[in-house]
Chain A
């Protein structure tokens, strides 16, 4: 019962945080840029000044007493609605899904920002999830080995791996992987793994002609399975290997260190000594008694890990020409497509805050000592 009260309190705080964040991001983009930037996603090149002015009025950026569009652009006194007034109109617009047209070169004005974002977002999610999977699948065992073989060779090797992992510039690690797997390890005249893109057909273990798939969810791997197109599925999976590994490398380092220290803490506890002294097998003690308690702190970093992966994905997408939102965000930054950047920041924030909430509630479920 208490947990429900706690969850509701956290949910309210979550709304508050997102509200605060929307104010911050609104101020950073609209408050610091001239007001006519707010109009760009809603006007078309052929619109005359009168039409532009009426759009500015409908967006609550220009006041109804503003005489002309040029007066608005020149920010004449009394022409611009105060920022807080703009904010509430913006918030209602945004919450109702009106993000205007995209300004991305090539498709400017023909597609809505919302559609562009969510058609590319699945690629980013797919990459981030695979990265998270690799981080957990490699980082946790590395930490366990490190703790159980404290100060012996496996520990030193694992330490070097984790230290290297969180010290290496991700973009550089990705580039080195490309050089190694595409330039130097070549079979039949092409690189072993694809160098870039979400679906590469020029590598040794790829299918040259994967065909096409239908769009069901937007996630290429799931769609390929749903269409029953195994070559396409395989190619998409192979294309994920290098970017996901690059994305995971920093988190592998961080996660294995956290698991190592909490595992060592757990192994020192009295109940472990008891378990050992009553003659339980080492395996059983480590995996059944110590690990369960040692993983709790690792669960709490999941939120930070998500934030890290969703942020790091921008750099990885650039290195591997991945067709996700991170790559698009840089193009949007070039053309000052503010709406796209705002949407990106807010969607990411919702995900991170939601995962943090989930982790905290899960923590209460996992650890009976935690009370609220």
Chain B
């Protein structure tokens, strides 16, 4: 009876906590804005195939290169071409592809790489960081020194070397960004687990004879996962920026590849004749990254009781 009552109590307690958090989320316009922007970008990414044919990026429309026939914006540049024909609201690029369509095709590419990198980095980081903190000693030292090695090089340099040596493909790009990203999560998870493992309930579990892996993975890590998830949300934007920067400096599988950084790369060559080509892909990157950053910031504010007012 008492057991049951306590269970019910803890359940209503947890539910009240969740409700209070949802209430805080609604109160916080920043989280709301972030959630709306990131949800919109994910929805566009999921619907991308319905909105624009997925092979659209491989089409070349002769005679429609570098067109601007949207009358709403006047660029005040002497040689802005109006190619007539169908209206491209965001202009066309060098190959005569509508920029709006290209951005819609490119968003899922960027988001997919970012989610893959962040999810893998979180898993690797949590496991390695948790093991390092929980076991301590030599294991801790080895894992920490390994992260030191990777943190001693700017990620973009390591990524350039990997892409040059292994070839410019999307899997290599994902791996290259991941290789520079996981050490941060190891550090984060390690510091979380270090403080958590000193708590009384861990001692109780040890006394009852629970095995080390069970204590770590079933009890300690679930209790320390929130800061890592928040960091993951914040990092989606940063990973997208890194990936697009790598594509921008030319490490792309195909010059026509639909990726926001690659679209911007085409644009920079025509920056003074067709500024829309760099303006809109970059703006899309900015909006997506602002969205995930706002969401992460807001979630952190809500979860961190010290910042609650």
Contact = CB atoms under 8 A, between A and B. Distances in A.
Interface of A: 13, 16-18, 20-21, 24-25, 28-29, 32-33, 163-164, 166-173, 175-176, 178-179, 182-184, 307-308, 310-312, 314-315, 318-319, 329-330, 333, 336, 341, 344-345, 348-349, 352-353
A297 to B, nearest CB: 14
Interface string B134-167: 0000000000011011111111111011111110
Contacts of A16: 145
A114 to B, nearest CB: 18
Interface of B: 76-77, 145-146, 148-158, 160-166, 237-238, 241, 244-245, 248-251, 261, 264, 267-268, 271-272, 275, 278-279, 281-283, 285-286, 289-290, 293-294, 297
A175 B271 contact: yes
B249 A314 contact: yes
Contacts of B241: 167, 169-170
B290 A164 contact: yes
Helix, strand, loop or mixed for chain B's interface?
A: helix
8 contacts: A28-B162, A29-B165, A171-B282, A175-B271, A182-B272, A318-B250, A349-B152, A352-B153
A225 to B, nearest CB: 29
Contact of A341 (B145, B161, B245, B289): B161
B47 to A, nearest CB: 24
B255 to A, nearest CB: 14
The 9 A-B pairs of least Cβ separation, nearest first, read A311-B154, A172-B282, A167-B289, A311-B156, A20-B149, A349-B152, A167-B290, A333-B164, A169-B285
A346 B249 CA distance: 21
Given A32-B165, A169-B285, A179-B275, A20 B145 contact: yes
A310 B162 CA distance: 18
Given A17-B145, A163-B293, A183-B272, A329 B157 contact: yes
B294 A163 contact: yes
A175 B153 contact: no
A349 B155 CA distance: 11
B145 A344 contact: no
Contact of A172 (B160, B161, B286, B290): B286
